[in-house]
Structure 1
Amino acid sequence: MKSKNCIEKKVSIILVNYKNYKDTIKCLDSLKKVMYQNLSIIVVDNNSKDDSFEILKEYEDDRIIVMESGFNGGFAFGNNFGIRKALENDSDYVLLLNNDTVVDSDFLMPLLQVAENDKHVGIVTSRIMFYPDTDRIWYAGGKVDWNNLRAIHCGLGEKISEKFSQKSTVDFASGCCMLIPKNTIKEVGLLPEEYFMYYEDMDYCIMVADKGLKIEYVPESVIYHCVSSSSGGDGSPFTVEWQARARRIFWKKYAQRFSIIKKIYIPIKCDCRTVVKCLIGKNKIGKVRAFVRSYRSN
């Protein structure tokens, strides 16, 4: 049942675009079908330097705003640019949504109901399916794997089953879809911009949990993700470089939580794992070079 409080809450959905207007348009087309009235959509073009901004500007209407950030400062930077605009517009919630997603028309209300019913909820997230292979799970809850400095997506690649169909409190919500109450932002702050891409969502989840707030997974809300369409895929040199760089930034921030022994072997183990992955599959030399570059960029 839709509560009156939920219906009255103002929600701003934020999409960050970088040289990928075609996916952004698909996402916007799906959002136009969302069955929620008090909704605005903020598209932030992260200095694409192509014709993305001009093309997306044509999609502006009463609910869609297209803005230029003026600088490609990365995923967190672009989202924070949009969050500030949303708060200026007195939004009660912001929803961070990857621009390479499409959503079910009723995906928003289940998220809002969970957030409205518990003041201790800091983030609410959806079940995320692959796209176009929509019967496979991409995210059905998440965990922070401290021993390997990474986030784990529960259910990755699996079919939908009962164990992934229960609402639950989780450690990690993917930045692909995060409904964040304005009170969370006031208490925790904006996304950490020291990451250009990757790890900023895991870091933010830790920041939220450290404030005693919960992260809730709501499987009744469903979206679909065209995975890595903007970064060349998980095995690309681009991904290798920026994931390795982000992991070191994350490690420097949280290393004090570990014992002396773990401070020594965990970063070594993680780098060794990355090197092994670089040597598997195509473009081995390109991936190894990207890994070396990640040290220079740190």
Structure 2
Amino acid sequence: MSIVQKTVLTIAGSDSSGGAGIQADLKTMEAHRVYGMSVVTALTAQNTLGITGILPVEKSFVEKQIQAVCEDIPPDAVKIGMLPDRSVMEVVAKAIDKYSLKNVVLDPVLSSTSGTELTRIEAREYLKKQLFCRSLLITPNIPEAQTLLSTKEGGDKEFLIDSREAMEDAAKKLSSEYGCNVLIKGGHSSFEREDVSADLLCIRPLGNAIDTEFQVIWLEGKRFDNPNTHGTGCTLSSAIASNLANGHDLKSAVSEAKKYIEKCIDAGLKLGSGRGPLLH
């Protein structure tokens, strides 16, 4: 008897402590009963206390990894995480076109929670203009969305997300400017009730439809009193990609992924001396 599984590829950095990056992605994919594959873009030395070292992978070897996977086991969905520099971004953009990669979920990892820069600032314009448009969905958190919508001179204080209305405005701006659907994660919000975690999914209109046709969906969940949330962004984007590979539409894929994240946090795993990982 043979077993057939849907396949998902993660293109991201490695986390030596296993809480984020490709390690979290593969654990999440296994939990969703899809076959996970990985392309490593950078090695990191990190744990629950923070990142102590980053070693980017040479672009030619990133390309070889993608080629090895896509020419043998084509993925049904792709999760993209940490892309350290423009040269790697160019390789990924080229691969999306060459292999007609579908169901691409991009988590724009700009920096770590502890403040370590993970994507070079000069590469962010390429990320926005060449990779967002090749993605079905991007999944910034509130600080990332603010940074993506701010000018270089203004920094992340120029565009402020301090209300639900501002979140909707930000999602529509990102979607309209870069041609992708947008999920803004509300875990960093200070304007919600303490017991609520609200994410915003903005599905863009097809073709040249007007702005009013954006589909705005609020996904409310419980906010848990648990500081151990290392790797939530990686886990959520991988869960969405896994759900898409398994045949869910975008709204269902995001909604089910949010429920999964809540279970991972609520499990109450405690490892390490800092902000610990989830129970995938």
Query: Normalization by structure 1: what TM-score?
Result: 0.29
Which of structures 1 and 2 has the bigger CA Rg?
Answer: 1
- Taking structure 2 as the reference length, the TM-score comes to 0.30
